[in-house]
Amino acid sequence: MSITSMLNTALSGMFASQTAMRTTANNIANVNTVGYQRQVMRQENIVVGGNSAGVRVTDISRIVDRFLSSAGLKASSDTSAASVQREFHDRFQAILGNPDSESTISARLDKVFGDFASLTLNPSDRIVRQASLEGITDLSIEVSRLSQSIQDLRNDASQRIEEEVSNVNEALRRIHDLNPLIIRQKALGAETAGLETQRDLAIADLAKSIDVKTINHTDGSVTVSTSSGVTLVDKALREIEYMAPGVVTADTRFSPISVQRLDSTTGLPSGSKQDFDGNILSGSLRGLLDMRDGDLRNLSLSLGEFASNFGVEVNRIHNSFSSFPPPNSLTGEQTVVNGAHATNFTGKVTFAVTDDKGVVISETLVDFDAANPADYDALVAQVNAGLGGNGTLSLTNGVMSFTATNAAHGVVIKDDDTAPSSRAGKGFSHFFGMNNLMESNVSGDYKTGLTGAENHNIASGTTTFEVRDSSGTLLRTYTMAVVGPTFNDQLADMSASSALGDFYNISLDADGQLLFEQKPGFDTLQLSVPSDSTLMNGSTLNFSGLFGIGDRFLVEPSRNMQVKEDILLNPERMALASFDLTAGVGNVALSKGDQSGALAFHGMQNGLYKFDAAGEMANLTVSFSQYSAAFLANSGLMGARATSRQEDNLALKIEIDQRNSDISGVNLDEELSNLIVMQTSFNAAARLIRSADEMMQTLIDSI
């Protein structure tokens, strides 16, 4: 070996040792850097003419286990999703309050029943009546508070989604900007490990928000997509977009999260937007979407079912009795019936006018079984004739009213004790809401009593339906126009395969309630009505409002549920007296101390009522106390489920991170040992250079 060859070999070893020491020092410096992956220098032998001529550094690469890295990203996404859900459930549990508090739904409901018990003992006591009304009011306030709190949490989740979308876009831009830098460095043969680490950190940040998978290319670039296959970064960048609404209610239509390609030259959006919600399978974005459109929505539906049934039962009882003295006038709620409609009632009902002492002035019986009036116009005429001018029954734009002619007299509507009037399971007064005790934004009672053969009398307008799956992906948009005169015509149009028939079996039940039975394979669908311009039979109701289609009509019975103001201000208006059908004209048929209504209200405590499936709660036939307890238990179960999911995913993430660290992490002992080896190698190369120098000097001196 020549002296020159010796020098070149020694220099290559010195340079390689310097690079190795620099790499080791960098590892030691980043021992506590989150996400840092250990770097190693790779070298190869230089061969010239079949002889070894030193070493050269081929590259500085990171120690990465691709499988563990991919598993770590998934675990991070799943943990973030579960953590978000746990956070929101913890917040809702705080809103519910301590289970043994006197302010929970169950506690306030118990107080209502306790007040009803006191009312049975002193039905004529104004203070006891006032206490009962205030107990119902307190329960209503708590239900309304919870209903609004749920919507506030949904609003917060929506705002957080907008923030997370910004974080996603920032991470995608960082990845996209690092790709060409790494490609260029790799093409020049320069070190890329530092840039790759920065890119991996951006990918890790992205994985906290959405589920991702990566494909590494030979040029050093990486393609990032979702687990479902939607590309987010390749040669071009994509941008995610979402705009949160300012206010969230039960019928708020959230804009979809969309993804759009950006032009690589201008950086501006290019091409059409693609709905992205259904392609987000994990991460904090998925957790927020599941809370906004899943768990919180389900809680609001269950609460709405409770409020609806409670209000319906209270009003049923109140319509069965009369105040003492009875009111001069009773005015019902909005319905879609008109004078030409068949009554569709069975049984018997008495319309009466009394004086302020409860003495019957006049009365008339309508027997729907024996002599059913041809329509409501005939019914009104029959009742008015039977009252002999002492009272007037009228139906105007679907609103029934009954008024005594003499301002000092009162009116009473009383069902027969053995054969009560009934339409859709409701007595005459209850069906029209003539003597309701409670009111809300919407009734929550959609037993219309209509049949498919009846005319709907919709002159114009359309109803638009949207069907989405549990992830929020839009499956079908269908706009229903007027296609025929009857409800059966509309149901046939709705049931077409191109409409809603692929997903639902649609029918009117015996009570006139419109049913949407999800077909097999479609058990997690959400049906909404983004717009409805129909008007039913000259009323203020539209098609979706009549049948309660969409979340608004199922949730809002729990919002602003309250005792009617005129009764709350005057407890004497509380209907507790039972009209004596056997009294006859000129005799007392009502008395002030009658406890019949109070006993009926108190009977609600142990009564069993049918609750439809709502949210995560199945069909139940239970008492109100049992349902409220089930609601609280279900909310607790949902929270516990989120906690367990978060703890399980966190444990898995910690395990994967530990295994990844064992492979890719920095071991100080190992690095210090390597440093000693590299220093020794450097010193050896230096001594070889010195020896070569001495040999060269000896040769020069000998000349």
pLDDT tens figures, 490-520? 999 999 999 999 999 999 999 999 999 999 9
- pLDDT for 233: 94
Dihedral (Cα; 413, 417, 419, 425), 10-degree rounding: 70
Residue 618's pLDDT band, with cuts at 50, 70 and 90, is: very high
What sign for the dihedral angle of Cα 128, 133, 136, 137?
A: negative
Residue 182 · residue 194 · CB < 8 Å: no
Query: What is the residue-averaged pLDDT of the chain?
Result: 90
Give 623-673 pLDDT, tens digit per residue: 999 999 999 999 999 999 999 999 999 898 888 777 766 666 667 777 777
Is the bond leading into 325 cis (omega within 30 degrees of zero)?
yes
Strands 348-354 and 360-367: antiparallel
Nearest partner of 589 among 390, 375, 413, 404, judged by Cα: 413
- In 3-state terms, the chain is what percent helix, strand and coil (to 5)? 45, 20, 35
Residue 625 · residue 110 · CB < 8 Å: yes
DSSP secondary-structure letter at 170?
H
Give 413-427 pLDDT, tens digit per residue: 999 999 999 999 999
Q: CA–CA separation, 70 vs 286, rounded Å?
A: 19
Q: CA–CA separation, 200 vs 206, rounded Å?
A: 10
With 0-12 CB in 10 A as exposed, 13-18 as middle and 19+ as buried, what is 587?
exposed
**Number of helices and strands in the chain (H, E):** 16, 23
Q: What is the largest CA-CA distance in the chain?
A: 153
- Least confident piece of the model among 7-21, 311-325, 455-469, 632-646: 7-21
Nearest partner of 590 among 350, 368, 421, 376, judged by Cα: 350
- pLDDT for 430: 97
Q: Which residue has the tokens 């001594």?
A: 687
With 0-12 CB in 10 A as exposed, 13-18 as middle and 19+ as buried, what is 105?
buried
Which residues partner with 274 through β-bridges? Answer: 259
The b-or-e profile of 344-375 (16+ CB within 10 A means b, else e) is bbebbbbbbbbbeebebbbbbbbbbeeebbeb
- 224 or 689, higher pLDDT: 224
Q: CA–CA separation, 367 vs 345, rounded Å?
A: 9
Q: CA–CA separation, 573 vs 561, rounded Å?
A: 19
Q: Given phi > 0 = left and psi -120 to 50 = alpha, else beta, which region is 661?
A: alpha
Q: Which residue has the tokens 């003539």?
A: 434
- The radius of gyration of the chain's CA atoms, rounded to the nearest angstrom, is 38
Residue 271 · residue 261 · CB < 8 Å: yes
Give 246-261 pLDDT, tens digit per residue: 899 998 989 999 999 9
3-state secondary structure of 343: coil
Q: What angle do CA 625, 644, 651 make, to 5 degrees?
A: 170
DSSP secondary-structure letter at 588?
B
Query: What is the reported pTM?
Result: 0.87
- pLDDT for 565: 94
Nearest partner of 312 among 227, 425, 394, judged by Cα: 425
Give me 683's structure tokens: 């010193």
| In 538-601, beta strands by DSSP E | 562-563
Q: CA–CA separation, 229 vs 396, rounded Å?
A: 59
Report how far Cα 69 is from the mean position of its chain's Cα atoms.
33
Polymer length in residues for the chain: 703
